[in-house]
């Protein structure tokens, strides 16, 4: 089943290669979407793909790269209906 996850990661997650590392992990998993820094110091991401692989990225975000300190990950995951799969985030995972 294809899912779409919106993530908000709290902690020391800016200036520690969190976005770059998230992009690398998502691409390794074959996911589509984006990751970006937010003005409030959090990092947001949108990931689309098979449920098991999106869940793997969410689990990874709870740890992040070596210099990050993740305090909390908010995740909202929704199922993508087959008729909408082609219109959900497609293409490589990018830093926005």
Catalytic status, residue 19: yes
Asked if 75 contacts 15 with a C-beta cutoff of 8 angstroms, the reply is: no
> Which member of 23, 37, 69, 83 is catalytic?
37
Distance from C-alpha of 77 to C-alpha of 72, rounded to nearest angstrom: 16
Q: Considering only CA atoms, which of 69, 45, 71 is closest in space to residue 57?
A: 45
Please tell me which residue in 19, 23, 55, 83 is annotated as part of the active site: 19
Q: Give the integer Cα–Cα distance in Å for 40 and 7.
A: 14
55 assigned to active site? no
Residues acting as catalytic residues: 19, 37
């Amino acid at each position: 089943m294809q899912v779409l996850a919106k993530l908000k990661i709290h902690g020391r997650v800016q200036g520690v290669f969190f976005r770059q590392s998230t992009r690398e992990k998502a691409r390794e998993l074959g996911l589509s979407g984006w990751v970006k820094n937010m003005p409030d110091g959090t990092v947001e991401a949108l990931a689309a793909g098979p449920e098991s692989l999106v869940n793997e990225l969410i689990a990874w975000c709870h740890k992040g790269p070596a210099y990050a300190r993740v305090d909390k990950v908010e995740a909202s995951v929704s199922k993508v209906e087959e008729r909408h799969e082609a219109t959900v985030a497609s293409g490589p995972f990018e830093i926005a």
